[in-house]
Structure 1
Amino acid sequence: MYNWLKGGAAKTKIGIWTLKGPVLVIAEKPKAARKIAEALSQHFIIRKYEGVPYYEIRSTSLVIYVASAVGHLYTLHTEHQGYPVFEYKWVPAHVVEEEKKYSRKYLELLSKLARECHYYVNACDYDIEGSVIGYLIVKFHGSEERAFRAKFSSLVRSELRASFENLTPLDYDMVESGLCRHELDWIWGINVSRALTSAIYHATKRRITLSAGRVQTPTLKYVADRELERALFIPLPQYTITVKLRKAGKVFTAEFTENPVPDIKTASTVKSAVLKSKYLVVKDYVAERKEYSPPPPFNLSDLQYEAARILGFTPLKTQKIAEELYLEALISYPRTNSQKLPLSLNYEEILQKLARIDKYRSLVTRLLRETRGILKPVEGEKEDPAHPAIYPTGNTPQNLTREQWALYDLIVRRFLAVFAPSAVILHTRAVLEAPSTGYKFTCSGVVVEYSGWLTYYPYHAPSTKIIPHLTRGEKVEVAGVAVRESYTRPLAKLKKIDILKWMESVEIGTEATRAPIIE
């Protein structure tokens, strides 16, 4: 029943409590191990190995040990010098990487427990990296034939218990994908890096270590090309013409439709003609109400974009804080590409839990009143087979930092917004013309008539701008004309979030690796 082999593995699910013999549950991080132990039993025993905690759970016929990795405990290494090199093997990271020395005791603990156990559960994050982390521990210290996979998208007790009641075979598709990417990145990186380092030495006799990577190097070239283009940019003068108009004592501004103009002579000609005419004639006036649906729930990329725009966070900071919130069981798994919430999620229960938090109580009450309790979330196009979109679990935050609160608030507000009604915005636009010369000017206004989802997620609300109602053929007094000189600007200096967008557009890197590579 338990001899699940690669390739043709049965899809049978099994509960952890039906296993006979000691079981080792492998978590990806220490906080996750604690959450898993708390979910499996209220009577777990805390033990320690060289200061590293692990958890023991005993029942009549079963012993479960829950222990943690600290990210990747294995890395690729070669004894071969020079290049090309294609001989390599997986080795403990603490043996070959100074910065991973701290991981030794975690691996020793897992190895010790694995020798005492008959079954193994990979309970690392359910993504490619988590699959590889757990698999390599099982491969070198346990038995693949007696190994299982736990799948969960949040560290909420009920979801964790359900996950361990429905263990599946190891997820070899994700394991093989992860191993392949790691090995391909390693082969590409070490050979190109060594070739570059050797080339520099032979050309200059200087020993400089250069680093190249399958994702890192194309990204670096994109940044370098952008900086070169900025450095070579020659600014040129340009001129912007605006006219102040007055109607019924109210002044508003219109822009020349051909802005910016390239020379001061043209700008002066337009200014003189408009001042001479003393009025502009309304050629068109349009008022249009538009409904705007709520944005979809966050995936990691959308969260990184919004956190950069609203909070000024770098992609890596957003990713790290989101992972901290996940480990506190406050949000679902953040490294997801999905813009869809699962139908199985109890939306009303989460909202009622959020209503216990003072700052969200009135918002939840209003949302339930506006929707009449019919909670149907907006969805985006993107999907992820492993995890849904990011959502708050409803657990009450405790002792969050200011930055953690800021990101958590963004996630909660976006979650509320996806259930809310559309916003209604009135757009007005007028085209005015100078008589005889035909010079055209435009002005526009915007007013939020019904806030809808903008009440919950106000970060897309437009600034109110009002222009008076105009009618075709109406003459509007010119109160003044201004010509402003400026210079053409180079492309904006790249921000980290711009680099992330480019990496996604050309499909290099993953949700987990892009932000660290940018740093």
Structure 2
Amino acid sequence: MTKKLIIAEKPSVAADIAKALGGFTKHDDYFESETYILSSAIGHLLELSCPEEFEVKRGKWSFAHLPVIPPHFALSPIEKTEARLKLLTKLIKRKDVGGLVNACDAGREGELIFNYIAQHTKSGKPVQRLWLQSMTQGAIRDGFAHLRAGHELQGLGDAAVCRSESDWLVGINGTRAMTAFNSKTGGFHLTTVGRVQTPTLAIVVEREKKIREFKPRSYWEVEAEFAARAGSYTGKWFDEGYKGKEDDEHARADRLWEEKRAEAIRAATQGKPGVASEETKPENRLSPLLFDLTSLQREANARFGFSAKTTLSLAQALYEKHKVLTYPRTDSRCLPEDYLPTVKETLTVLTGQGAGKGHDEVLLARYSPFAHQILARNWVLPNKRIFNNTKISDHFAIIPTPQAPKHLNEMEQKLYDFVVRRFLSVFFPAAEYLVTTRITRVESHPFKTEGKVLVNPGWLAVHGKESQEGDEGNLVAVAKDEKVKAEEVTVKANTTKPPPRYSEATLLSAMEGAGKMVDDEELKAAMAGRGLGTPATRAQIIENLIGEQYIHREGRELIPTAKAFSLMTLLNGLGVTELTQPELTGDWEWKLGRIEKGEFTRQEFMREIAEMTRHIVERAKTFEADTIPGDFGVLTAPCPRCGGEIRETYKKFQCGACDYALWKIVAGRQFEPAEIDTLLTEKQIGPLTGFRNKMGRSFTAAIKLNDNMEPEFDFGQDKAGDESAEPVDFSGQDSLGTCPKCAAPVFEHGTAYVCEKSVGPAKSCDFRSGKIILQQPVDAAQMKKLLADGKTDLLKEFVSNRTRRKFSAYLVTAGGKVGFEFEKKAPAAKKLAAKKPAKA
């Protein structure tokens, strides 16, 4: 009697299948029954490699052996899982195995894992496909009752292989070519590139450029406090003729670019009567759509600070280990149109009924009232916003399964709760508001006041928002055309701010919506719904960029390094836009989707990739480090050795007349031309922030030129206990104040402010305070204030070494040392909340 061999993606899934089907006897790493043999991979067991006859064993990082484009690929076992591959090979080749069942995860990577195993073992046995969206026992049994023929997934398999081979070709050739280029001048400078990771990095670098190039612009706002019969309220002046941002992205209807005009409005309206009129309209807000993986990662990052990788890991555990969520690696936010009965079954479990023994009663108690309400009022109805087959590809939205949660850890519980509340809220009615817009005219100048009142919470009740918490609240009532008085009119000065750095949440959105960055309308339409990477790979792309030191994660901010800027300069200089623009890689993802549907061929796709690979290598061969085009100029300062002209190049500031040169990147920080000009002119600069040690920690230091005109770090430290150290001459400086420890004068010295008695061979005090503390510059004026008053102004740019987050604090002196005093924050007042009239 022949048997079928079932191959799952992971051992835990194999155990679930054995439990669901029943009748299995467990052996070391496989199960066996009368009709099935059941085992699993451990993720990927094989990886692509170049066949021996085409691979160069020596010098593979040199241009002489590039590009590497083999006519076919070999598969090499991954060493740490080779024993499992041997077991599966042995089971596949058993004479009583008449067919195979691919039970790997339902998706592109699951298809690739199985197909590579079948290819490696040269199995010609027929294949059936188990396609699971949920890991519950019922779903598994139902999946086996509806096995699909393996050839039905041919397009998915071809797309999977194309993705794997194109990544290999671009990654291997691109990385070897850029590394070879950067290593021409000596050493080995690993420079990795990838068909998805590099355009993603380009997005982050472009944002950082905008931040660095940003020039703040002053603007003014005019606010008025109006007295009405029922109390007072605030209004803000606005331009009724404003038609949008046009050419200035910082323009707003309530912003004035001239202080004189703002003051003129204040003068014209101060103390003057006005007339208030208002319009109130109802506004409905639907619940957000169900989660796909990217939206779940994005919102979990914003809400809990989870990295994209952490969210995927938690969601995978909730799906695979606990069976309480559906398959997480999905790009759909809808459910199948025949899924209404399963939704009702899940809701019944969330009420606590039929949840089984050992379930988390406390957790289900949170959802029971809402689940009861949905079922009692029959809110689960056909609805294209929720149940829509046209918006589902391989997988549907992430929702809870009809399996009650048990033994979830704290982080798993947070994510499960997040998904369940989103699931419940999508069946609730819209939240209903009354939005009031009040226009108060004073001397023909309009002031706007807006109020928003939550009338019916609808789906917000699921999230505990049954009142107007977070809304702008009621406005004091005014009668129609009531006359009011502008009691106090204030001009508020402000400055425009640069765009924020990317967080994982916003970068995931940018990756997902990469097609929106494209100008070409036809390509934009073709890329609709596609972006950089897939929901399953985006988290790892971000982690790879961090691991390769292209990006630092500081708090929730992602900050590109000097290495990232250098790579963009190189690729743009070489004209290799294939690796920097989202259009192309987004187009590749779109084409992979077409291959899955049989609309595009694997051969055509790989031909395009091979052509692109050759182009990348040929461009890198054409240039030298000092011939890379870029926005480079000539320094003002002459060469300190020969007086020659110093030019900026891709990697250095190089004298054209002698061999004198300074590296552009030192300790992970890239020098700007103006900084090098200062260094060469004054023989020192700093202290400067942004350097990083080998552990990735940031540090601050000054740079000085030594006797050979070579740059060296200067940390401003004396050689403690060195009797030969020369006394420091402060005679040319004015004291900043008196030392809080010994009352001697305090002066600037190197990177610090020091007590006169804390330096030199006869030092008797140890008072010292850095000019930069936790990345916050402390100027001489603030040090004077600290020494005179014992406290600085509130400083807002400190960055915690532990959390990498910014914080505000005062510097204070206590016990002769400098410490922090944190701002006492008043309870947050509601914006535009009603103000009661003063009592008589």
TM-score (norm: length of structure 1): 0.87
The alignment status of 1:359 with 2:366, answered yes or no, reads yes
Is the 1:295–1:378 contact (alpha carbons within 8 Å) kept by the matching residues of 2? no
Shift of 1:37: 1.3
The answer to whether the aligner puts 1:91 opposite 2:75 as a matched pair is yes
Task: Report the Cα offset of residue 504 of structure 1.
Answer: 1.5
Alpha carbons of structure 1 residues 281 and 466: separation in structure 2 relative to 1, 3 Å: same
Gaps of 5+ in 2: 239-252, 353-363, 515-530, 544-840
> 2: CA distance between counterparts of 1:124 and 1:413?
30
Contact 2:336 2:392 in 1 (8 A): no
CA distance in 2, matches of 1:372, 1:353: 16
Residue 160 of structure 2 is aligned to residue 178 of structure 1 = yes
Matched, 1:55 2:62: no
Alpha-carbon deviation of 1:251?
2.7
SS of aligned partner of 2:282? strand
Q: CA 1:378–1:399 in 2, change beyond 3 Å: closer, same or farther?
A: farther
**3-state SS, counterpart of residue 456 of structure 1:** helix
Superposed displacement of residue 240, structure 1:
2.4
5 Å matches for 1:179-194? 179-194=161-176
Correspondence 1:58-207 to 2 at 5 A = 58-59=33-34, 62=35, 64-78=36-50, 79-80=55-56, 81=60, 82-87=65-70, 89-95=73-79, 101=80, 103-116=81-94, 117-141=97-121, 143-170=123-150, 171-202=153-184, 204-207=185-188
2:303 pairs with 1:310? yes
- Residue 274 in structure 1 maps to residue 266 in structure 2: no
**1:286 aligns to 2:282 (yes or no):** no
- Whether contact under 8 Å (2:102, 2:128) holds in the other structure is yes
Give the 5 Å matches for 1:337-356: 337-345=331-339, 346=341, 347-356=343-352
Deviation at 1:458, TM superposition (A): 5.4
The 8 Å contact of residues 300 and 334 in structure 1, kept in 2 or not, is answered as yes
Q: Quick one: structure 1 residues 337 and 144, their matched pair in 2 at CA, closer, same or farther if it must change by over 3 Å?
A: farther
User: Which of these residues, 399, 413, 426, is aligned with residue 418 of structure 1?
Assistant: 426
Which residue identity is paired with 2:513? S
RMSD of aligned alpha carbons:
2.2
Match of 1:254 among 213, 235, 238: 235
Q: 2:213 is aligned with what amino acid?
A: L
Letter in 1 for 2:325: I
Q: Deviation digits for residues 391-421 of structure 1, max 9, x if unmatched?
A: 1102111221211111111111111112212
Q: Verify the 8 A CA contact 1:120 1:142 in the aligned structure 2.
A: no
Q: Is the 8 A contact 1:29 1:69 kept in 2?
A: yes
Cα-to-partner distance string for 1:269-304 (whole Å, 9 max, x where unaligned):
222222141x3322x411111222333222222222
| Residue 439 (structure 1) aligned with residue 417 (structure 2) | no
Decide whether the 8 Å contact of 2:379 with 2:428 is kept in 1: no
Pair 34,329 (structure 1): closer, same or farther in 2 beyond 3 Å: same
Identity %: 30
Superposed CA offset, 1:442-498 (max 9, x none) = 111111111111112458985242113334432223232233322211111111122
Q: Aligned residue for 1:265?
A: 260
Q: Is the 8 A contact 1:321 1:407 kept in 2?
A: yes
* 8 Å CA contact retained: 1:338, 1:387: yes
Determine if contact 1:430/1:470 at 8 Å carries over to the other structure: no
Distance 1:317 1:38 in 2: 29
CA positional deviation for 1:239: 2.2
* Letter in structure 2 aligned against 1:120: L
The CA deviation string for residues 122-174 of structure 1, in whole angstroms up to 9 with x for no partner, is: 11111111111111112222634421110110001111111112212221110
Alpha-carbon spacing, 1:482–1:104, altered in 2? closer, same or farther (3 Å): farther
Match of 1:10 in 2: none
Query: What stretches of structure 1 of length at least 5 have no aligned partner?
Result: 1-19, 96-100
Q: Which residue of 2 aligns with 1:46?
A: 26
Match of 1:428 among 436, 440, 444: 436
Partners of 1:245 and 1:403 lie apart in 2 by 49
Contact 1:426 1:446 (C-alpha < 8 Å) held by counterparts: yes
Alignment partners' CA distance in 2, 1:302 and 1:448: 26
Question: Structure 2 matches for 1:481-492, cutoff 5 A?
Answer: 481-492=489-500
With CA pairs under 8 Å and 6+ residues apart, which has the higher RCO, 1 or 2? 1
Q: Please identify, of 352-361 and 258-267, the stretch whose mean Cα deviation from structure 2 is larger.
A: 258-267
Name the counterpart of 1:4: none
Task: Verify the 8 A CA contact 1:120 1:138 in the aligned structure 2.
Answer: no
Q: Tell me if the contact between 2:434 and 2:454 (Cα under 8 Å) persists in the aligned partners.
A: yes
Check the 8 A contact 1:120/1:143 in 2, yes or no.
no
CA distance in 1, matches of 2:27, 2:270: 85
Report if aligned partners of 1:239, 1:263 keep a CA contact under 8 Å in 2.
yes
Paired residue secondary structure (2:93): helix
Q: Which of 166, 171, 195 is residue 214 of structure 1 equivalent to?
A: 195
C-alpha contact 1:348 1:375 (8 A) present in aligned 2:
no
**Aligned residue among 495, 500, 516 for 2:540:** 516
| 2:516 is aligned with 1:480 | no
Corresponding position of 1:451: 457
CA distance in 1, matches of 2:232, 2:190: 64
Q: Does 1:332 find its partner at 2:339?
A: no
Seen in structure 2, the aligned counterparts of structure 1 residues 418 and 142 have a Cα distance that, compared at 3 Å, is farther
Q: Please say if 1:231 is aligned against 2:209.
A: no
Q: Which residue pairs with 2:3 in the alignment?
A: 22
The number of aligned residues is 479
How many Å apart are 1:502 and its aligned residue? 1.5
Q: Displacement, 1:45?
A: 2.6
2:477 is the counterpart of 1:501: no
- Look up the equivalent residue of 1:299 and give its one-letter code: D
Per-residue CA shift, 1:58-107, capped at 9, x if unaligned? Answer: 23xx2x22222222111111233331001262423424xxxxx2x22322
Cα deviation for residue 315 of structure 1 reads: 2.3
In structure 1, the residue corresponding to 2:116 is in which secondary structure? helix
Which deviates more from structure 2 when the two are superposed, residues 20-29 or residues 149-158?
20-29
- Cα separation, 1, equivalents of 2:108 and 2:465: 33
Whichever of the two has the greater Rg, that structure is 2
- Whole-Å separation in 2 of the counterparts to 1:496 and 1:297: 20
| Range moving further from structure 2, 493-502 or 377-386 | 377-386
The TM-score, its normalising length taken from structure 2, stands at 0.55
Amino acid at match of 1:314: S
The CA deviation at 1:325 is: 0.8
Instruction: Identify which range, 471-480 or 326-335, moves more after superposition.
Output: 471-480
CA contact (8 A) 1:285 1:471 kept: no
Partner SS for 1:224 = helix
SS of alignment partner, residue 78 of structure 2? helix
The reply on whether 1:32 has 2:20 as its aligned counterpart is no
